[in-house]
Homo-oligomer: A and B are copies of this chain.
Amino acid sequence: MTIETISTHRAHGGTQGVYSHSSAITGTPMTFSVFVPDHAPGARLPVLWYLSGLTCTHANVTEKGEYRAACARHGVIFVAPDTSPRGEDVPDAADEYDFGQGAGFYVDATQDPWAKNYRMRSYLERELPEVIGTQFPADMARQSITGHSMGGHGALTIGLRNPDRFRSISAFAPIVAPGEVPWGEKALGRYLGEDRAAWREYDAVALIEDRFAQEGARHPHLLIDQGAADDFLVEQLRTHRLAEACQAASIDATIRLQAGYDHSYYFISTFMAEHVEWHARWLG
């Protein structure tokens, strides 16, 4: 396993790097960014994953996320993967911002022509963690996850499916119930096919409902911030559905509606330091 260093910059008393590696799972090169705070020789630091939203790469949060000061203060490594496989040979829907490249929706696609490359679930659940654990001074026994919008959906679903791997889960303006909203119905339908039962592993509200019904599974540390002036709130995000599911499952989630804030990185960057600090509490 080798990775290529694309760039490194000293920032906030640590190193902000951008890296690329050849992914066996997506069959493409994959780019990601990692911030590593300065640390004692031999020390291993906990990891906070950040999954990005539609149209984004690693670069958006790396430039605009304002996470480095807080990560340096709390000694947390911050990893920002891409949102899909990319490349000329990767099937795309070039005119659609909400499907194809830049819109992987954190699923393992089962439908042609997407199934070959669009395997962001396995990439993030299995392959990239191994890269991070072997190539960086990361303590993989201490991980948490967050994300924005489509990436908030990714953080919630990956986190809820792997409660033993992640000590805490947060999200900024997540798509909480993709099976019920236009963005999700389009993406899940084309990546996974029309059998909606297959969608439920990729839907935070459905996961909570199903898991609760079976075994009462839940996550004890869940934090959501949602802008009240977010133009996507009513049609695509529907935060109240997560609140209802958590209440029905007796999950003690913190779900906050932030007056005046929209869907942009102006919103994310405002609450980022607080999320990092909150995760750091569970990452010990």
Contacts and interface: CB of A to CB of B under 8 A. Distances in A.
A273 interface: yes
Contact of A267 (B10, B265, B266, B270): B10
A38 to B, nearest CB: 10
Interface string A51-95: 000000000000110101100000000000000000000000000
A interface secondary structure, majority:
mixed
Nearest to A273: B69
A145 to B, nearest CB: 23
Interface string A101-123: 00000000000000000000000
Interface in A167-196: none
Given A63-B63, A63-B64, A64-B64, A264 B9 contact: yes
Contacts of A267: 9-11
A16 B66 contact: no
Interface in A245-284: 260-262, 264-267, 269-270, 273
Given A10-B227, A16-B266, 4 more contacts: A9-B267, A66-B269, A68-B269, A69-B273
26 contacts: A9-B266, A9-B267, A10-B229, A10-B260, A10-B261, A10-B262, A10-B266, A10-B267, A10-B270, A11-B261, A11-B266, A11-B267, A11-B269, A11-B270, A12-B269, A12-B270, A13-B270, A16-B266, A63-B63, A63-B64, A63-B265, A66-B66, A66-B269, A68-B269, A68-B270, A69-B273
Q: Which 7 pairs across A and B sit closest by C-beta, in order of nearness? A: A11-B266, A9-B266, A10-B260, A12-B270, A10-B261, A66-B66, A63-B64
Interface of A: 9-13, 16, 63-64, 66, 68-69, 227, 229, 260-262, 264-267, 269-270, 273
